[in-house]
Amino acid sequence: MADEEKFWDASVEELSKGFVYDSVTEEYVCLMCDERFEDGVIFERTGTFYEAKKAIVHHIREEHHSVFDYLLSMDKKYTGLSDHQKDVLRFFKKGLTDKEIAKEIGGSTSTIRNYRFKFREKEKQAKVFLTIMNELKHEKQDVHDLIPVHKGAKMVDERYATTVEEKDKVLKTYFKEGLNGPLESFPSKEKRKIIVLQHMMNRFDAKNIYKEKEVNEKLKAVYADYVTVRRYLIEYGFMDRSRDCSEYWVKK
């Protein structure tokens, strides 16, 4: 499974680049797809050879077009932006004038200027809020820290407000033979259900595309009613599948 914690723990500067350096594995890691480039290794990209750091930059350009496009494509629950606001930002990125943008989307140049003003105000608020949250991180919270919400999550609400302590307690309750063992029963409560499903996703690699039979085998090793679990993995946005349901993959 992709390391979503890496994505959410990345600094603004790292998110802007689209990758982080993992000092433990000595790899440059793409924050959008978890593709890794080992430091010291030479990589070939479209006929040219690059060192790892240069290779991941080309990878992001080739596979994701740009970090800007990837971030704008994320759900509103993460960006806080409407589709219309995203369109305006795309035109800003292209360097269009207020008059040109107004012609593209309709409205007046004063409306576009108002967008520029509101976005700058939003930026100021974001900086202050990030600083506040950064200060909170200095406090020792440990078990009271909230676990990250997976990027494919739908209708994020209080069900996802789970602390590390709560998660550990739930997993111990439902995986009595250990975290790598079978699931004793499938929880009925939504919050517990999400915790269990998120843990079960550790059995899947974000880089792979799985046949339905492979998914069934992995889930069957954990819980007898694998069909129900598979359905919930799709329903809660942990996995996605092809239209004919023949292929499955981790939702990013």
Confirm if 39 and 22 have CB atoms less than 8 A apart: no
**Count of Cβ atoms closer than 10 Å to residue 147 Cβ:** 19
Confirm if 60 and 30 have CB atoms less than 8 A apart: yes
Tell me, what's the pLDDT at 37? 96
- Taking only the tens of pLDDT, the chain with its 252 residues reads 345 778 888 889 999 999 999 988 999 999 999 899 999 999 998 889 999 999 999 999 999 999 999 999 998 888 999 999 999 999 999 999 999 999 999 889 999 999 999 999 999 999 999 888 877 766 555 545 666 666 566 665 666 677 888 889 999 999 999 999 999 999 989 889 999 999 999 999 888 999 999 999 999 999 999 999 999 999 988 999 999 999 999 987
Domains of the chain plus CATH, in order, are 4-67 (no CATH), 74-137 (1.10.10), 158-250 (1.10.10)
Strands ordered across the beta sheet of 209-211? 209-211, 247-250, 239-241
Q: Helices 164-174 and 190-200 meet at what angle, rounded to 10?
A: 80
How far separated are the first and last CA of the chain, in Å rounded? 10
**In 3-state terms, what secondary structure has residue 20?**
strand
Distance CA(153)–CA(232), nearest Å, equals: 12
Distance CA(17)–CA(174), nearest Å, equals: 40
Q: Which residue has the tokens 């914690």?
A: 5
Phi and psi at 138, nearest 5°, equal -70, -20
